[in-house]
Structure 1
Amino acid sequence: MSKFEISSKFSPSSDQARAIKEIVKSIKSGNKYQTLLGVTGSGKTFTMANVIRELNMPTLIMTHNKSLAAQLYSEFKGFFPKNHVEYFISYYDYYQPEAYIPRSDLYIEKDSSVNEELERLRLSATASLLSFDDVVCVASVSANYGLGNPSEYKGMVAYLSVGEKISQRKLLEQLVDMGYKRNDNYFDRGDFRVNGDVVDIYPAYYNDEALRVEFFGDEIDAMYHFDVLDNKRLKDISKFTLYATSQFIVGADRLKIAMKEIEEELDARLKEFNEQSKLVEAQRLKQRVEFDLEMMASTGMCKGIENYACHLTGQKAGETPYSMFDYFEISGKDYLVIVDESHVSLPQFRGMYAGDRSRKEVLVEYGFRLPSALDNRPLKFDEFISKKA
């Protein structure tokens, strides 16, 4: 297992050293919850960095807003330059959730502006958790929201190696299944391009490097990273693990099963609406869900696909949704969760579920969403607090 190494010219003071020793001892003796108290500027962040080093566990650090998360990310990135420090917050610069106000018959469509850099960092976080064991992930409340099945995500992986027998066509088909798009003109994250026997892949979670795969017949002859701006060759590699472009990407077999389940749920819900003479709601739901199914069949995705998460992940109604915690747990090893400013963060975690639920119940009642959309939700507080960390 990789070791956490702190890079700092300072060493813990007497109070910090005592706190580190007591917290580590308490965790190793099996106590699940610990509290570190200290005034602003007393070095609590440095203290917890030393706790992470002593325990040598993958760590999820949660806080209640983006500004604090960015500050903590910068600090831990400085403390652990040789380890994998990741950043996982909402990728929206602007977000207006879908809603319906019955008394004024006003439907508010979901509107958002996605920050591509934040989306890349989120994908980088989940990819690192499946690839490395020395990960520190700084997250906002987004860590409590539903994600795709980590096992399915891990299964949608391309393992490439020099000398491997694979046709170029088969690799391209695999890339499309993983959510990558062919773009020979404007090469961007999540794209691939083809030039003769050369395939360039821009991993969705990379910053300014891409992967070049050179074929000789049906064999991978060479692989290397290159700079996407000046096309400069950077580093030759013999093996590479490529992850999908989204945590919600699923395999073709799982997608077929999910679509069948959605159709069955739609039929049952339409029957219910028709029996209640709610014809407007029935027509509204039928039109929306059938369009989403057409998009899934042709592209594997649709707008608002997260509302079908329980079908895509194979979970039953009411089950705890997959979240960032499951990407830590998939390794089967212990991990550490640190909640910064817990007097603010924990009440916020507690209130998230009720607010989300009340909005979606109205959407379901008036035919804008299937009942399964209620399972696309943040963790309940009891589910959060009972995680295996």
Structure 2
Amino acid sequence: MDFKLVSEYKPTGDQPEAIAQLVDSIRRGSKHNTLLGVTGSGKTFTAANVIAQINKPTLVLSHNKTLAAQLYGEFKNFFPENAVEYFVSYYDYYQPEAYLPATDTFIEKDLSINDEIEKMRLQTCATLLSGRRDVIVVSSVSCLYGSGNPEDFHATAVSFKVGDIVSYKQFLYKLVEALYTRTERDLLPATFRVNGDTVDIMAAFGEFGSQCYRVMFYDNEIEAIWIVDPATGARIQTIDTLTIYPARLFVTTKERINAAVQQIYLDLGKQIEFFEREGRTMEAQRIKQRVEYDLEMIKELGYCPGIENYSRYLDGRAAGTRPFCLLDYFPKDYLLLIDESHVTLPQVHGMFGGDRARKENLVEYGFRLPAAKDNRPLRFEEFEQMMGTTVYISATPADYELMKSEGVVVEQLIRPTGLVDPPLEVRVTENQIDDLLEEIDKRVRVEDKVLITTITKRMAEELSKYFDRIGVRNRYIHSDIDTLERIQILEDLRAGMFDVLIGVNLLREGLDLPEVGLVAILDADKEGFLRNVRSITQIAGRAARHANGNVILYADHCTDSMRYAIVESNRRREKQVRYNLEHEMLPRQAQRSGTGQSTLLASQGEKIQEATPAFYLPAEDHYMQAADVQGTYVAGENLDTLIAKAKEDMERAAKSLDFLAAAKYRDRMYELQKLREENRNR
């Protein structure tokens, strides 16, 4: 099936030229291409047109889960009739096992898996192996970490059709090999239930959630296959064929398991001998106990916690060879789009080193066999070898992309809305919070939203707490917030449930927020990766979708990065203004590109509601004041009692170091004392 792009919009501005140049370059055999597109110029729509015209399986690589979720929603809207899949890390929380020799501390592996994302990962692999060509996978760099062997994943799948002659027992054995569990209770995903000649199977995943299938046998012949309601058993649909894919990515055949177990025993003996020869009996005993326990589980269940550390044996790979990953599931001629490449590629560069340092300690002190080091993310040179025809997409491409593209860059600077880049204004840091509050007040009055970027997560949290005290409706967002909760926070900002979003670098690339009228960059002169020219340009781009967007850089001196960002912004503004004048275009407010990340939220329901506050405090009309002073009181009130109460509250707040609240109670006490004096003088 071919890709079918569905959109009410047509390419405008310099989009048609950019699409034509990219498609022509790819068809002429160019392996590396760069699209330099400013924020809000419709890079995603351009990419969608390129995908539709090239018509190959496509991987869209993003550098974080939040942006990947937004891209997934947008491509889902552009290609409703094609397979659009989502593949990111399924950990809401992940603490890898580690050993700290300095303190003799072993940290057990601890994690929290998001079941919905795990199902989407499995669905991605199943779709790629199904033979479909109209597949778009939106992924984070998680796709470069070790995964199961695609051949084993496919071989372990249970495929059958009506009329097949299948041994009833053999059929059940195959389900168990696919890591499905037999149950006599209510069906859960990845379980099956046997009732006479009927087998009910609850799929581990599916396009519309886990579906329940009923397979009916007559002797050893499959007589019928139904999709049924898991609660009532009522038939929903009759089908002729069915493929049940494994419930986990790390699966293998019985033959591979037997061969792997024998090889693990051999390597275990060598490692024990090595430790004993070195006189390290504690390490020898430790590795013996841990590996033998894992082997017993693998022999009995075909699985054990941390089985990925034995992936080299289960895959049949030689020592030192790279693991399988999602890229192995793609055909050789796939199309690779690297979104925000200036950030994504450095992430790919850095993954291997951090993983190797941790694994070497585990191996050195007898917690893992040396083969555990081969369960790792790809090295950058391995990733390069597996890259398909590539398009680097960025508003600020780095030197690597420019070098690979040999200086040939497709520019996309004109926004379909006619909006020009927001002006960059530099202000001193003295009284910057008071100045920022005044700017927030202006924006809130016209129902615009504000983004504030800080240097650290702690600073974002403390600023959020301060805003809470003075009545500014706000939330903060950074890497400690769960994936789906981050998405919900952005949806709530768009819905008007709060006005100010505070964050670190998560507020940079790709966030489609046309409601944002002001971006404030605190500590803009702190030169570093968060405040280099690319970062400043990307942060400023968050205000580029608003007709009256503005960017304020709070700094005490102008760094080279600030200077270059301002010069480049002025160059782009000049070109955009000239285009608008030539084509008699008036800038208009950008609209949201669709349901976006809410596509992912639809399946979460109450989980998100529990994780995210249901409401935000309303902003007060005069939240700029340090205290909300009472001006009048009802006649007959006991002013002495109120003054004493205000003084008590002030002292309590001061003891708890909440000086803002203390100032508020102090001003209230003074106002009450003044009112009491006025009453006495009447």
The interval holding the TM-score normalised by the smaller chain is over 0.9
2:281 matched to 1:284? no
Aligned length, in residue pairs:
385
What's the offset of the Cα at 1:168? 2.2
C-alpha distance in 2 between matches for 1:344 and 1:249? 33
* Matching of residues 45-64 of structure 1 within 5 Å: 45-64=44-63
The 8 Å contact of residues 205 and 211 in structure 2, kept in 1 or not, is answered as no
The 8 Å contact of residues 208 and 227 in structure 1, kept in 2 or not, is answered as no
2:262 matched to 1:260? yes
Relative distance call for 1:38 and 1:229 in structure 2 (3 A) is farther
Higher-Rg member (1/2): 2
2:150 matched to 1:144? no
2:205 matched to 1:200? no
Superposed CA deviations along residues 161-188 of structure 1, whole A, max 9, x for unmatched, are 0011113222111101111101121311
C-alpha distance in 2 between matches for 1:79 and 1:177? 38
The 8 Å contact of residues 69 and 139 in structure 1, kept in 2 or not, is answered as yes
Partner residue in 2 for 1:67:
66
Partner residue in 2 for 1:81:
80
C-alpha distance in 2 between matches for 1:16 and 1:210? 45
C-alpha distance in 1 between matches for 2:211 and 2:148? 26
Taking only aligned residues, the RMSD between alpha carbons, in angstroms, comes to 1.1
C-alpha distance in 1 between matches for 2:17 and 2:64? 30
Partner residue in 1 for 2:119:
120
C-alpha distance in 2 between matches for 1:382 and 1:26? 24
Partner residue in 1 for 2:648:
none
C-alpha distance in 2 between matches for 1:272 and 1:350? 33
The 8 Å contact of residues 208 and 228 in structure 1, kept in 2 or not, is answered as no
Of the structure 1 ranges 371-380 and 175-184, higher mean CA displacement relative to structure 2 is found in 175-184
The 8 Å contact of residues 52 and 59 in structure 1, kept in 2 or not, is answered as yes
The 8 Å contact of residues 204 and 210 in structure 2, kept in 1 or not, is answered as no
Structure 2: which amino acid aligns with 1:218? N
Partner residue in 2 for 1:40:
39
Partner residue in 2 for 1:236:
238
What's the offset of the Cα at 1:229? 4.6
The 8 Å contact of residues 192 and 200 in structure 2, kept in 1 or not, is answered as yes
* Matching of residues 338-357 of structure 1 within 5 Å: 338-357=337-356
Partner residue in 2 for 1:172:
172
2:374 matched to 1:375? yes
C-alpha distance in 2 between matches for 1:268 and 1:211? 48
What's the offset of the Cα at 1:231? 3.8
What's the offset of the Cα at 1:28? 1.4
Structure 2: which amino acid aligns with 1:212? R
Runs of 4+ in structure 1 deviating by more than 4 angstroms, as ranges, are none
What's the offset of the Cα at 1:27? 1.1
* Matching of residues 208-357 of structure 1 within 5 Å: 208-329=210-331, 333-357=332-356
* Matching of residues 150-189 of structure 1 within 5 Å: 150-189=150-189
Structure 1: which amino acid aligns with 2:129? L
The 8 Å contact of residues 60 and 137 in structure 2, kept in 1 or not, is answered as yes
Structure 2 stretches lacking a partner, 5+ long: 389-682
The 8 Å contact of residues 208 and 229 in structure 1, kept in 2 or not, is answered as no
What's the offset of the Cα at 1:154? 1.1
C-alpha distance in 1 between matches for 2:387 and 2:138? 18
C-alpha distance in 1 between matches for 2:63 and 2:232? 40
Relative distance call for 1:77 and 1:227 in structure 2 (3 A) is farther
C-alpha distance in 2 between matches for 1:134 and 1:383? 26
Partner residue in 1 for 2:27:
28
Relative distance call for 1:72 and 1:179 in structure 2 (3 A) is same
Structure 1: which amino acid aligns with 2:236? L
C-alpha distance in 1 between matches for 2:360 and 2:235? 53
Superposed CA deviations along residues 10-69 of structure 1, whole A, max 9, x for unmatched, are 111141111111111111111111111112111101110111110110011111111111
Instruction: Please state whether the residue corresponding to 1:235 is helix, strand or coil.
Output: strand
Relative distance call for 1:273 and 1:325 in structure 2 (3 A) is same
C-alpha distance in 2 between matches for 1:77 and 1:234? 26
Superposed CA deviations along residues 314-336 of structure 1, whole A, max 9, x for unmatched, are 1111112111100003xxx5101
C-alpha distance in 2 between matches for 1:55 and 1:188? 41
Of the structure 1 ranges 351-360 and 163-172, higher mean CA displacement relative to structure 2 is found in 163-172
C-alpha distance in 2 between matches for 1:229 and 1:23? 51
C-alpha distance in 2 between matches for 1:70 and 1:78? 13
Structure 1: which amino acid aligns with 2:52? R
Superposed CA deviations along residues 192-212 of structure 1, whole A, max 9, x for unmatched, are 111222111122122142211
Instruction: Please state whether the residue corresponding to 1:87 is helix, strand or coil.
Output: strand
C-alpha distance in 1 between matches for 2:236 and 2:27? 43
The 8 Å contact of residues 254 and 312 in structure 1, kept in 2 or not, is answered as yes
C-alpha distance in 1 between matches for 2:299 and 2:57? 38
Instruction: Please state whether the residue corresponding to 2:309 is helix, strand or coil.
Output: helix
C-alpha distance in 2 between matches for 1:120 and 1:229? 21
C-alpha distance in 2 between matches for 1:294 and 1:76? 45
Relative distance call for 1:121 and 1:36 in structure 2 (3 A) is same
Superposed CA deviations along residues 289-324 of structure 1, whole A, max 9, x for unmatched, are 000000000000001000001101011111121111
The 8 Å contact of residues 203 and 210 in structure 2, kept in 1 or not, is answered as no
C-alpha distance in 2 between matches for 1:16 and 1:78? 19
Instruction: Please state whether the residue corresponding to 1:148 is helix, strand or coil.
Output: coil
Relative distance call for 1:227 and 1:60 in structure 2 (3 A) is farther
Superposed CA deviations along residues 240-269 of structure 1, whole A, max 9, x for unmatched, are 122111221101000001111111111111
C-alpha distance in 2 between matches for 1:248 and 1:317? 19
Of the structure 1 ranges 300-309 and 156-165, higher mean CA displacement relative to structure 2 is found in 156-165
Of the structure 1 ranges 205-214 and 128-137, higher mean CA displacement relative to structure 2 is found in 205-214
Instruction: Please state whether the residue corresponding to 1:244 is helix, strand or coil.
Output: coil
C-alpha distance in 2 between matches for 1:328 and 1:69? 19
The 8 Å contact of residues 255 and 312 in structure 1, kept in 2 or not, is answered as yes
Superposed CA deviations along residues 332-358 of structure 1, whole A, max 9, x for unmatched, are x51011111111111011000000000
Of the structure 1 ranges 238-247 and 62-71, higher mean CA displacement relative to structure 2 is found in 238-247
Instruction: Please state whether the residue corresponding to 2:14 is helix, strand or coil.
Output: helix
What's the offset of the Cα at 1:230? 4.9
* Matching of residues 99-114 of structure 1 within 5 Å: 99-114=98-113
What's the offset of the Cα at 1:233? 2.4
